[in-house]
Amino acid sequence: MIPVSLEDVDENHLQQLVDDAVLEAKTIEYKEEWNPNSDAHKGKFLAEITSFANARGGDLILGIGENDNGEPDAVTGMEIPNVDKAIDQWGNIARRNVNPRLPSMEIKPITVNNERTVLVIRTRQSWRSPHRVRSNDKFYGRSSNGRYPLDIHEIRDEILLSETNAEEIREFRADRIAKIRADNTPVPLRECAKLVLHLIPINTFTLDNPIDITTLSSSDAPGTFRRQPLTLNVRYNIDGIVRYWNPNDEERTYGYTQTFRSGCIEAVDTMLLREKDRENVDDGRYIPSTALREYFEHSLDQYLTFLQSEEISPPIFVFVSILDAKGYYMWNNQRSYQNRIDRDVVLVPEQSIERYSQSLDDCIDNCINAIWNAAGYPKEQSGQW
């Protein structure tokens, strides 16, 4: 795989592959000329992209030829009359002929100096693997020699690995929630309701410490939920590094963000869920919906930017939880909604960020709506009378 984000790949990166004689291997494949209208090319395309998804991900590059040794020999490009149409065709082929559907496949066209086009098709490692090609009912994997059909034992192992990864991710969240509720946290927290955000990369349990804490400065580590500029304390610990907000040097802090060596991020806030009276607010405990959305917009953008800078590969799973939530109601645009949350712990269903360029709107909307569901409403209410 070309070692930069897909949006940054340009003709110079392609030429560098040729100059450095970068061999076809587990994460890269070259094809000089493929046509989405060719049945033969469609079949090979599906085999390549599913093999990447079922392994570590990779780049299929159309418009670079290769010699018998698997070395790229020239950036030739392809003559494509309608590039947008061709990209749509390849995308539709993938959507209609792969089961389950690939969570992440992106195509970038690059115009080369002879005014022809190279297509870089990037497929990320999938958390839904193994993926099957419908047309021939085959599963493919990859080795250093390229793609190959998986045998029945490898298919079984892929299914077990996918299930194990999903279970380990959910168990990590459950374990961390239990520790927070038991006051077993990196720094002591105020004794009140808490908003918790977990970001867990798919490779958390398959890679050894992808974040090098020894080279990570305290100012580079992610900050807290709070969108306002804050002076944060920092300390290193056995799990990684934690930044926390304790403006008055009290015994218990207002919130923290723990960055784990594994690439996971845990952010906990004790300020957003209000417990005191306020003008125009009914007595009791409430969750301000507009501020909640602002928290998510600020924190998710900050944390994903950090993970991308550390070259942590997506997908990234997002988990939102509210602890000691029972009795809280929602508040939006100067209006309170009197239905109250009926349980102590609200576990919002997980969301997934398949690529860093993905809009966060759906993820945030889904989290907000789920919290309104917990309070007895079908979705976020506008607050208008």
pLDDT tens profile 317-364 = 999 999 999 999 998 877 888 899 999 999 999 998 988 888 999 999
Q: How much is the mean pLDDT over the chain?
A: 89
> Sheet holding 98-99: strands in order across?
98-99, 132-133, 138-143, 146-149
**Which is nearest to 194 in space by CA: 331, 320, 368?**
320
Cross-strand bridge partners of residue 258:
242, 266
Contact predicate 278/265, CB 8 Å: no
Positive or negative torsion for Cα 292, 296, 268, 164: positive
Pairing mode of beta strands 28-31, 57-62: parallel
Domains, the chain: 6-150 (3.30.950.30), 163-374 (no CATH)
pLDDT tens profile 106-115 = 999 999 977 8
Interacting residues of 316 by C-beta distance below 8 A, sequence separation 6+: 199, 200, 201, 202, 304, 307, 352, 353
Q: What are phi and psi of 103, to 5 degrees?
A: -70, -25
Q: Give me the mean pLDDT over the 83-90 stretch.
A: 96
Chain centroid, CA 368 distance in Å: 18
Token readout for 130 is: 């193994």
pLDDT tens profile 256-304 = 999 999 999 999 999 898 775 545 544 568 999 999 999 999 999 999 9
% of the chain surpassing 70 pLDDT: 94
Token readout for 208 is: 């050894």
pLDDT tens profile 20-69 = 999 998 999 999 999 999 999 999 999 999 999 999 899 999 999 998 88
Instruction: Give the total residue count for the chain.
Output: 385
pLDDT of residue 229: 59
pLDDT band at 157 (very low <50, low <70, confident <90, very high): confident
pLDDT of residue 385: 44
